[in-house]
Amino acid sequence: MCALADLPHGIAVPTHAYVPGKNARHPEDWFDQIKQTVTSEIPAAQLHHTTAWTTGLAYLNAGYFWECHEVLEAVWMQTQDGTAERDMVQALIQLANARLKLRMDRPQAAWRLCNMVQAHLARCPNDRAILGLTVGDAQAWVRETENRIER
């Protein structure tokens, strides 16, 4: 995980990481400008060049899990069913959810979500990068998350 100060320059940083039931949710329109960087004109294979994608990954790495889901959903909505891009985005959204569930002290939910992430990654090709990431990159993040789960 990176520290807040390590977020790339220009990435909007919320005042806090939202945890349902523990603190206040961000204003409804807070992420709109980030999400609007993803449009239907951008080819799916190029979505990783959008601010929404890079911000989503930065949020994931900095511990802003709910926020990661919020911005990556805009990327996911521009992918087609049955594509590796859709599976990769969905895997990262579910990984963020798993890490949020850990923060909420819900280890069984986190474990279930990690299994969902692995299912999405299993449908992705191993021989090329998908949205700038390899399946191995994402699987390492899943293992890191699974290692934090108390069984």
Judged on CB neighbours under 10 Å (0-12, 13-18, 19+), 24 is exposed
Q: What is the pLDDT of residue 3?
A: 43
Does pLDDT of 6 surpass 90?
no
State what percent of residues in the chain have pLDDT above 90.
86
Render pLDDT for 90-141 as a digit per residue (tens, 0 to 9): 999 999 999 999 999 999 999 999 999 999 999 999 999 999 999 999 999 9
Q: Give 43's Cβ-side CA count (13 Å radius).
A: 3
Q: What is the pLDDT of residue 13?
A: 85
pTM of the model: 0.92
pLDDT band with cut points at 50, 70 and 90 for residue 2: very low
